Amino acid sequence: MKAVLEKIEPVFGNSFTIRRFDQAPDCNKPSWHFHPEYEIVYISNGRGKRHIGDHISYFEDGDLIFLGPNLPHFGFAEELYEAHTEIVVQMKEDFLGEAFLQKPEMAAIQQLFQRSRQGLSFVGETRRRVGRRLEEMMQMGHFDRLLALLSVLQELAHSEEYEMFHANGFAVEVNAQDQYRMESVFGYVGDNFQQDVSLEEAARQVSMTVPAFCRYFKKLTRKTFSQFVNEFRIAHACRLLADDSLTIAGVSFESGFNNLSHFNRQFKSITGLSPREYRKNIKKVVS
């Protein structure tokens, strides 16, 4: 599963792009891609998955995401099939000129751009206000839309209502072969995590021996392959725990764990809480 370079060209009269998607076929495109533009994604409502670089998590009631350049990711509404609105804003760092971010008035926004390189999710009133503003921007003329975008960036820059993903993009600008290999492994895990995930098959995906693959994976991700698989499964479990109709044992089985005790140990090791405690305190992000 190779990440595709998405080429983004602003329409005539604009220095950035803003697009709105209201139909499920438009929103639910599960392509693994990257681009040199910064990206703001607003999803009005519903549950979905974030897979950004080596970060995996779920959102429960819409989301507002800000990504820096060249972070490979899936579309965030790929598992969201209820009626919703998705607005995507994409801009290059120099979309207002190479020296614009160096102006003293832009200091906070410049810091926001730096934080976004690991991925950000905004919550609370910030998400609601910015979401409304993005909706309004769709009806504005070119000049007012630009002013509104600067206002949105300023609000995000000063907001404390955010979580950082600490996503690792696997040096997409440096080594395309590494990028391709890691995406193949991600695709294999994503397709099979509810069943048996074989280390041998993961190594076969990238034409490596098992020892070579283990060293390679640890070097790039700073974690073992089994740790990554467990984190993938636990992130899925966190989403399922929001559904009170499922038992803890049911969540364990649906997340790929056949042993409840092992599931409980892994869950607490990764999240700091037992599944039962997590269900009481539902947290929305697990890296």
Residue of higher predicted confidence among 69 and 127? 127
**pLDDT exceeding 70 applies to what percent of the chain?**
84
SS3 186: helix
Look up residue 27 and give its two tokens. 């929103």
User: What are 86-106's pLDDT values in tens digits?
Assistant: 999 999 888 888 888 888 999
Confidence band, pLDDT 50/70/90 cuts, at residue 174: very low
* Per-residue model confidence (pLDDT) at position 28: 44
Backbone angles phi, psi at 86, to 5 degrees: -125, 125
The domains found in the chain, sorted by start residue, are 4-164 (2.60.120.280), 176-280 (1.10.10.60)
CA distance 82 to 61: 11
CB 5 within 8 A of CB 33: yes
Mean pLDDT value across the chain = 84
Q: How far apart are CA 275 and CA 258, in angstroms?
A: 15
The predicted model gives 35-43 an average pLDDT of 91
Judge whether residue 33 has pLDDT over 80: no
Distance CA 148, CA 215 (A): 48
CA distance 199 to 33: 25
> What are the tens digits of pLDDT across the range 181-218?
887 888 899 889 999 899 999 999 999 999 999 999 88
Q: Are 51 and 73 in contact (CB under 8 A)?
A: yes
* pTM for this entry: 0.69
Quick one: pLDDT at residue 272? Answer: 84
